[in-house]
């Protein structure tokens, strides 16, 4: 049996300054909805923590074993933020400022779902990969390549 997870409540103001800057550097230019106010951290080790948003009306769950007590926004690691797949698929395409929207049946969509990088020019940084306006997951553009952040367990073939 696994021990219960060590969830530690943390307001955004209690995140380290570097971690808060990393989350804001991702969120502010990319996501067009406010960053949730009630946040909690699951600290994996001294360099890595999972950032989750809690519902405003969430009941007190003290003493209960909870796998994930909120919306998994991403991972804070060594002063940088990597968004989660849960965040990608729960946002509406229009809530994300930078995205790659491909039609159904596109070869780029097939390549993305296989976990391949995509040769697409544009500004550097995170973007949401969508099909006909529906989110698939994250990519990160570096130069003329979009690096694939689709979860390995979901990839085709």
- pLDDT number for residue 7: 53
Q: Where are the domains of the chain?
A: 7-83, 91-154
How far apart CA 120 and CA 109 sit, in angstroms, is 12
**Residue ranges of the chain whose pLDDT lies below 50:** 1-5, 11-13
How far apart CA 139 and CA 154 sit, in angstroms, is 15
How far apart CA 21 and CA 27 sit, in angstroms, is 10
Cβ–Cβ < 8 Å for 89, 137: yes
- pLDDT number for residue 78: 82
Q: What is the pTM of this model?
A: 0.86
CATH architecture designation of domain 91-154: Roll (2.30)
- pLDDT number for residue 13: 43
- pLDDT number for residue 24: 93
How far apart CA 5 and CA 60 sit, in angstroms, is 16
**Buried-exposed string 134-150: b where 16+ CB fall within 10 A, e elsewhere:** ebbbbbbbeeeebebbb
Residue 27 tokens, joined? 């969120």
- pLDDT number for residue 71: 92
Q: Per-residue pLDDT tens for 120-131?
A: 999 999 999 999
- pLDDT number for residue 8: 52
Could you identify the residue written with the tokens 């923590």?
Answer: 49
- pLDDT number for residue 69: 79
């Amino acid at each position: 049996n696994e021990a219960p997870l060590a969830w530690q409540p943390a307001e955004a103001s209690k995140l380290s300054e570097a971690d808060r800057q990393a989350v804001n550097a991702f969120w502010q230019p990319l996501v067009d909805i406010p960053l949730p106010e009630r946040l909690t951290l699951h600290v994996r080790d001294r360099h890595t923590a999972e950032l989750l948003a809690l519902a405003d009306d969430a009941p007190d769950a003290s003493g209960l074993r909870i796998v994930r007590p909120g919306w998994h926004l991403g991972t804070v690691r060594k002063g940088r933020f990597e968004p989660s797949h849960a965040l990608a698929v729960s946002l509406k395409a229009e809530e994300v400022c930078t995205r790659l929207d491909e039609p159904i049946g596109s070869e780029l969509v097939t390549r993305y779902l296989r976990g391949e990088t995509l040769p697409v020019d544009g500004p550097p940084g995170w973007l949401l990969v969508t099909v006909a306006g529906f989110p698939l997951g994250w990519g990160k553009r570096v130069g003329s390549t979009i690096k694939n952040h689709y979860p390995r367990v979901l990839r085709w073939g």
